[in-house]
Structure 1
Amino acid sequence: MSKPTSKIDIFTHIMPVRYREKLLKIAPPGLDIIVNVGSTPTLFDLNQRFRIMDKFDGLRQVLTLSAPPVEQIADPKQAEDLARLANDGLAELVHKYPDRFAAGVASLPMNNMDAALVELDRAVKDLKLKGVQVLTPVNEKPLDAPEFLPLFEKMAGYDLPVWIHPRRGQDYPDYRTEEESKCRVFSVFGWPYETTVAMTRIIFSGILETYPNLKLITHHCGGMVPFLRERVIGSYDRIFKDLKDDVRQRLSKPHVEYFRMFYNDTAINGNTSALMCAYEFCGAEHLLFATDNPFDTELGERNLRQVINAIEQMAISDAEKEMIFAGNARKLLALSS
């Protein structure tokens, strides 16, 4: 059995140098995610990043801006400026290192939607970025909030994907009687839950019915949906009739078919059985190689090693593995190589 050599890691994180310098000046002191940024040099040190990438044949990355989202740390005007700075930096990296970076993904000032839509046009038309990343929730607002619908309309028109990244902090308590989450529950389990909530709200709001060609990429392999698929199907089959009339009327086909419209990345730290579960739910056509680089115990190398190995061990054809490793990304992002 041959191993696919070309690999496009579709969900990696980075911080362009000038953006990082500006971020550290204006971010609130003690913000936990800023501490994380400082302890992960491969977010900004390209030499270290490239040394790790060189250990894996045929590897290129799609770059997204690392958290925090600009709208979390800046007022609407500052967020606009930060997004422009970040997007300029991403575009510069892709232009300078095309053999390393297959594409860049825009960030938008989601607390300033007029500016966000203008920046989206600039990012796609002028900078040639290949989509946008949104973090959910957006300053505690759901992605299906009416103010965000113009973004989905534009992305459907551009026929480019939206990368959905979950964002919960320690201030999301595990129980209502507490003030904060303990033992990192907010990220280890809360992020897949947040992804699942966002997917469900997008479906039942009718966004995918209105924009059937809209392409949405979930982080961490579709949250909980592929692994609880029979519960999802059975539960909504049972309660669908109890949903409000306007909710039911937004859907023209079974709810599970909308869940299968999402593209799901493989960034679950390497787990063949879990990937097979996702494969059985959405098919190879909707799985995308990703590692969440560089966030692991080895500055990105561990997840690369484990995720690649997990995909290679999947009981699927070589052609399907090639789709997951690179083919789907090329098609989705209209990449020439």
Structure 2
Amino acid sequence: MEMRIDFHTHILPLDLPDLTGKFGQGRWPVLEQKCSCGADIMVSGELFRKVTDQVWDAKKRIQDMVAEGVDMQVLSPVPVTFSYWAPIEQALYISQFQNDFIAKTVNKHPDRFIGLGTVPLQDLKVAIDEMKRCKFELGLAGIEIGTNVNGENLDAPEFIEFFQMAEKWNIPLFIHPWETMAKDRTERNNFMYTIAMPSETALAAASLVWSGVMEKFPDLKICFAHGGGSFPYILPRMDQGWEVWPDLRKTSMPPSHYAHKFYFDSLNYDSRNIQYLIDCFGYKNVLMGSDYPFLLREIPPGKVIDDTLKLSDEVKANLLGRNALRFLNLE
């Protein structure tokens, strides 16, 4: 039977230190446990998100995996912990704390978990050093980064060396929305999650294809969360812009040429959207991902792929597991 690998899951250590107390006031996420089965993530004294014990308890995660037919999870940090706003020594501390925790969890359950680390992108030398440690010392399979760094899009010149080294070391990057655009207009109705995150992801992907980053680093492996957000659907409009504004071109080919190098998780909830991703980018560039263990996750993981009736068994096997192993260099 083919493996089912959930590429998009998040984990947070229960003993995450209270860095507000350690370093002084700041926007540090604090985990306040309310009971054995749940906790509140607090930021600046306000509730950011309620979480269940699945966010830190590996045994609970494995129980859910067995119940839902998932063989392995790819563990990545919760984006609120990226902390790109913080002084670099402090941001490195929380990055390394999480990276060590994820590596220990993977080492304890190597048949169940694959790990992704995180790095403090506000300082490129430190970020590159920690990326190197994640791969060559901790044995993590890739790095999760945010869609922007303190308001700077990922095509900013200061990030070029980071992408260069990720390509050189063959380290896959998982790009997840955080610090989304239009925050003042998306506070109500949780539009930050349903509208702003997909738009933020589209801007990150657009920045990388329009700027020439993907042309400069053709072997760079990048996967976008949430099916790429709105990016797949606005890509034809970007190509049209590239055609009609030759003075703005920074690449030799239109954006869609470079977008075909991207990978996307499958978290878009609709089999028609899955089919569109496959039609646009190929079935080998879509990885099953659920956003476990949060409220917006897909239950059971891979349901939308299973419900896409026109897919052959071979294609489904790639979507549900093989593609994740290939992306993470773990075939």
C-alpha distance in structure 2 between counterparts of 1:326 and 1:23, whole Å: 37
Separation in 1, partners of 2:318, 2:218:
22
Q: Establish whether residue 257 from structure 1 lines up as the match of residue 269 from structure 2.
A: no
User: Is it true that 1:292 corresponds to 2:291 in the alignment?
Assistant: yes
2:35 equivalent in structure 1? none
d(CA) in 1 for partners of 2:81, 2:160: 19
Cα displacement (A) at 1:313: 2.1
Offset from partner CA, 1:167-213 (integer Å, 9 cap, x none): 13597122xxxxx6322222211111111111111111100000001
- 2:227–2:266 Cα contact (<8 Å) kept: yes
What is the root-mean-square deviation of aligned Cα atoms in Å?
2.4
* Equivalent residues of 1:289, 1:324 under 8 A apart: yes
**Residue 177 of structure 1: aligned partner:** none
**Counterpart code for 2:220:** L
Alignment of 1:140-159 (within 5 A): 140-159=151-170
Q: Which has the higher strand share?
A: 2
Q: How does 1:58-77 map to 2 (within 5 A)?
A: 58-72=70-84, 74-77=86-89
AA matched with 2:252? S
TM-superposed deviation, 1:47: 3.0
* 1:164-183 alignment runs, 5 A limit: 164-168=175-179, 172-174=183-185, 181-183=187-189
Give the one of 303, 309, 321 matched to 1:326.
Answer: 321
Q: What is the CA–CA distance in structure 1 between the aligned matches of 2:286 and 2:246, rounded to whole Å?
A: 31
Query: Structure 1 residues 23, 171: closer, same or farther in 2, change over 3 A?
Result: farther
Counterpart position of 2:7: 10
- SS state of the match for residue 98, structure 1? coil
Contact 2:170/2:221, CA 8 A, preserved across alignment? yes
- Counterpart selection for 1:94 from 83, 87, 106: 106
User: Do structure 1's residue 79 and structure 2's residue 79 form an aligned pair?
Assistant: no
Distance, in Å, in 1 between the alignment partners of 2:210 and 2:242 is 13
Match among 278, 298, 311 for residue 305 of structure 2: 311
253 and 311 in structure 1: CA distance in 2 versus 1, 3 angstrom threshold: same
Which residue in the other structure is 2:33 paired with? Answer: none
User: CA–CA distance in 1 between the matches of 2:19 and 2:288?
Assistant: 29
**TM-score, structure 1 normalization:** 0.85
Q: Which runs of 5+ in 2 are unaligned?
A: 23-27, 31-41
User: Within 5 Å, which residues of 2 pair with 1:191-210?
Assistant: 191-210=197-216
Contact 1:80 1:112 (C-alpha < 8 Å) held by counterparts? no
Unaligned runs of 5+ in 1: 175-179
Give the superposition deviation at 1:147: 1.4
Cα distance in 1, alignment partners of residues 230 and 64 from structure 2? 30
